[in-house]
Structure 1
Amino acid sequence: MTTQFYDRLSKDFTQLLESGVNCDVCIEVGEEEIPLANIYNVHSIILQSRSPYFKKKFDEIIFNEKYVKVLKLPNISVKVFNVIIKYIYSGKISLEKLENSVIFDLLIASNELELDELIEHLQTNFVNNIASWLILNFAQVYRISYQVKSFKIIRNFCDDIIAKYPNTIFESENFNSLPEDILISILMRDDLQLEEGKIWEYIVQWGKAKNPNLPTSLNEWTSVNFATLKETLKGCLPHIRYFSISGEDIVEKVYPYQQILEHQLFSDITIKFITPNKPISSIVLPPRRILNTTLPTRITPISLSSNIITNENALEISSWIDEKEIPYIEKNSYEFKLLIRGSRDGFDVKTIYDICDKVSKTIIILKVKDTGEILGGYNPLEWDENEDHYKKTKDSFLFSLKTGNMKNSILSRAFGCHYSIIGFPSDLELRFGNALCLIGDLKTEKRCYCMKSNEYPKPIRSRWCKPCNSKHFQNDFNNWTSGNDKIDKLIQDAQLNANYRYKVIEWVPYDRFKDVKQIGKGGFGTIHYARWIDGPIREWDIENQQWKRYQDEVEVEVALKKFDNFVNFNDVLNE
Structure 2
Amino acid sequence: MEHASAIVKSWYKLADDLTELLEETHSCDVIIKVGEENDFEIFKAHSLILRARSEYFRAALSTTWSRKNSNGFYIIKLYNMNISYDIFGEVLFYIYGGYVFAPGLEVTEKLQLMIAADVLMLDHLINFLEEDLICNEKDYVNRYTSEVLLTVVQILGCKELLEICEKKLLCRPRNLFYSKEFLSIPRYYLIGFLERNILGLNEITIWDRVLNWGIHNTPECKSLNTKNILDWTMEQVDALKANINEFLPLIRFFKMDPKRFIEKVGPYKQIFEEDLYDEIIKYHEKFIEFEPTYEVLSLRLNSVILNESCLKPIASWIDLPEDNRSSWYDKYVKTNTKINYEEIPYDFHILYRRRGSKLTETEWCKYVYNQGPTLTVIKVKDDDYRCSVTIFGGYKSISWSEENQENRVGGDGFVFSSYTMSEYINLRWIEKHLALNMHLGSGNHSHDFRLGKEIYVKSSAYTIDTIEVFKVIKKEVL
Query: Scaled by the length of structure 1, what TM-score is found?
Result: 0.42
Which gives a bigger RCO, structure 1 or 2 (Cα 8 Å, sep 6+)? 2
Please identify which structure carries the higher helix content: 2
Query: Scaled by the length of structure 2, what TM-score is found?
Result: 0.50
